[in-house]
Amino acid sequence: AKEAGRCRYSYFTDVMSARAEQRMRTEHDLRIALANEDFRLHFQPRVSHCDRRVIGLEALLRWQRSDGRTVAPDEFLDVAEQTGLIVQIDEWVMREACRQSREWQASGLPVVPISVNVSLARFDAERLISHVRAVLAETGAAPEALEIEFIESQMFAQQERGQQVIGELKQLGVQVAVDDFGRGFSSLNYLVQYKFDTLKIDRSFVQGMPDPKHLAIVQAVVAMGQALDYRVVAEGVETHEQADLLASFGCNEMQGFLFSRPLAAEQLPALLRNGLPA
């Protein structure tokens, strides 16, 4: 028994040190990627279901690795948050989104708000506000063309400062969204306290439909969001059935693979001009 115990012990330490090593390698690579700006934005359309127009874009981070792989954030967000590198990465994303918005505007395309995701894991309210101010000034992007998405569960851990930073962002004219609504340890209380512009229903609820429990929750969240004067956006819409149910609840703003996957910047002008193909 003693032997076996020892074996197990060494097995777990091996796994743990392999994992630690992997993290250190990712951290090292991320620092290089930041210096070289090896990041790209993909943009996923937010659409109006009734007329298939693109009414917004969500900027989603992609890491162009030196071996040619394009890596999605799930593979490196943990490390980026733990090391604090996420702050610089999110700052890069905001700048790039505003730059891209201005470029599209200059080429005569309709301007739609671009949403960026901001992690609150290493939150510094003053730094965020001054960065937003600097980026708007630098790029000349209209504040209304920028929306900042905060993940609900992270917001919850940031109570007082969260409320303050939302107020300051709104004073700058920037839109604020609560992301992944329903997924974290939601408190309805802060929907009253904080004044977001947009509420994004987490895709797990959308994709749970037409299961009756999920139906009931989505319907109630749409009604509540609208009663509180939020723009309500459904995420992760993959089927016509989900889209039709949402529309029947009065939720017209949707995002998901049914309409479009996140796309490289070059693919956006046609969509911005013409809407989604029929």
In the complex, which residues of this chain contact ligand C2E (CB under 6 A)?
44, 60-61, 72-74, 77, 86, 90, 93, 117-119, 179-180, 203, 235-238, 255-257, 262
CA angle 256, 259, 262 (to 5 degrees): 60
5/252 with CB nearer ligand C2E: 252
Partner in contact with 74, chosen from Ca ion, ligand C2E, none, beta carbon below 5 to 8 Å by kind: ligand C2E
Beta bridge partners of residue 12, listed in sequence order: none
Token look-up 């709104």 returns 170
For the CB of residue 119, give the shortest distance to ligand C2E in the complex, in Å: 4
For the CB of residue 109, give the shortest distance to Ca ion in the complex, in Å: 22
| E strand or H helix at 212 | helix 212-227
Q: Residues 91, 147, 179, 197: which binds Ca ion (CB under 5 A)?
A: 179
Q: Could you give the CA distance from residue 107 to residue 98 in angstroms, rounded to a whole number? A: 14
Residue nearest ligand C2E, CB atom distance: 256
| Phi, then psi, of 35 in degrees rounded to 5 | -65, -40
- Please report how many Cα atoms fall inside a 13 Å half-sphere around the Cα of residue 95, on the Cβ side: 14
**Binding residues for Ca ion, total number by CB under 5 A:** 5
18/176 with CB nearer ligand C2E: 176
14/45 with CB nearer ligand C2E: 45
For the CB of residue 152, give the shortest distance to Ca ion in the complex, in Å: 9
Beta bridge partners of residue 148, listed in sequence order: 116, 176
User: Residue 117, interface with Ca ion (CB under 5 A)?
Assistant: yes
For the CB of residue 77, give the shortest distance to ligand C2E in the complex, in Å: 6
Partner in contact with 27, chosen from Ca ion, ligand C2E, none, beta carbon below 5 to 8 Å by kind: none
| Residue type (1 letter), 87 | V
Q: How far is CA 149 from CA 5, 169, 188, 247, in A?
A: 47, 12, 18, 23
Token look-up 């708000």 returns 113
